[in-house]
Amino acid sequence: MCVLVAVSADAACCDEGRLVEIGTHADLVARPGGRYAALEAAWVASQPNVGGSTLITD
């Protein structure tokens, strides 16, 4: 299980209880091969009204 946590301008991505990434939303979605970016892409793809871009912005 992976958990995304956003606090102020920072976000953290935990996977199986381990902190695997931390940074701003923009930095994390831009990180190639990152867990946060993969989860964001999957979430965006599952949302019919998002139109291919993220809803969450810095």
- In tens, the pLDDT along 2-35 reads 655 555 667 888 888 888 888 888 899 899 999 9
Distant-in-sequence, close-in-space partners of 33: CB < 8 Å, separation ≥ 6: none
Per-domain boundaries in the chain: 2-46
Residue 25's pLDDT is what? 85
